[in-house]
Amino acid sequence: MRASITRVGGVVVAVAFAAGLLGGLAVWALWALTHRSPGTNLTGCDVPKVARDVLPSVVTLSVSGPSASGTGSGVVVRTPIDGAGSVQGVPRGRDYIITNDHVIAPQGQPGQIRVTYADGHSSAATLVGRDPLTDLAVVTAQDPSSNARAISVGSTGDLVVGQPVVALGAPLGLTSTVTSGIVSATDRYVRVPSESGATHHLVGAVQTDASINPGNSGGALVNCSRQLVGINSAGAAPGGEGGSVGLGFAIPSSLFAPLASEMIATGTVRHPTLGLQVAEVTAALARQYGLPPGLFVQAVTGPAADADLRPGDVITTIGGQAVRSVDDLNALELHATPGDSVKVEFTRDGGSHTVSVTVGQAD
């Protein structure tokens, strides 16, 4: 089993992706997957009915890449996707599979994809679009199962802390696995490094104590009304430990629905941008050149150029938040809305300045 990890707030966040089962599963893994967590007996939530109705919408994805292979999960949705609004170019009444980018692109490179449905039917699949920044991807089966059932998408905005939820997927390669728990928190921001060295940004993520194990990536997080509210993407554990300890994160429907629709329409995603190409001012550089901590501007386009930011400026805050890394900039841009005005503080020739930058949209 292989997992990318990073420390976030004292825990290790691991991309929930299984590289295959070698020599069978350890006894502890089987126990963890077949025993119910404390949140399984959830008052007012008929978990068996949820599982029975939703499992036909959840698939297992087997991916063989140029340098790596593995298994993950995916969820069948039908266009137009609920909550996505009107996206020009999206065909009506067609089924697609939403999953994570790290599932279809082991080591950062897309591989050959095969879909296995809950009824055992298998088909080759085609990549429709991917967005490594938010760890989302869309694929379509070349020969879909006649028993596949597209899932209804629910509103993340309706979720409350303590609400029961159910996670479905293929952890450790075990297809059609179901775990349950509650919403532990909403609107989390989590950085997750990928095996290619890049960073995925989970924005507005749903946190749950439903077990999210390697292989759950791309699977469904649903409410008790059997609506898809999240795409399971990462699990967390104390440093040095593996498996699920009750900290899982899912990409919310408020994000995956519009982004998946855009990928279906165009094959890609246009993110909000400030038009900045920057590099981190390290502590060593700050001491050597007398610069403040922040982001050194290497190049400007569009919004930043219009605001008269220039190469050589050092940005210290954006929207009142200190910025120290390219990841900080990416996270702020993902939270922004094109047309918004954002105050940017920076230094130039030893002096401090502030400008307003109108958020644009990347080409």
- Our CA dihedral for 107, 112, 118, 122, rounded to 10 degrees, sits at -160
Q: Based on C-alpha coordinates, what's the Rg of the chain?
A: 21
Identity of the residue numbered 236: A
161 and 39 Cβ atoms separated by less than 8 Å:
no
Q: Which residue in 101, 131, 135, 209 is the catalytic one? A: 135
Q: Which residue in 73, 102, 201, 244 is the catalytic one? A: 102
Active site residue 102: yes
Q: Which residue in 4, 184, 217, 244 is the catalytic one? A: 217
Active site residue 135: yes
Which residues are annotated as catalytic?
102, 135, 217
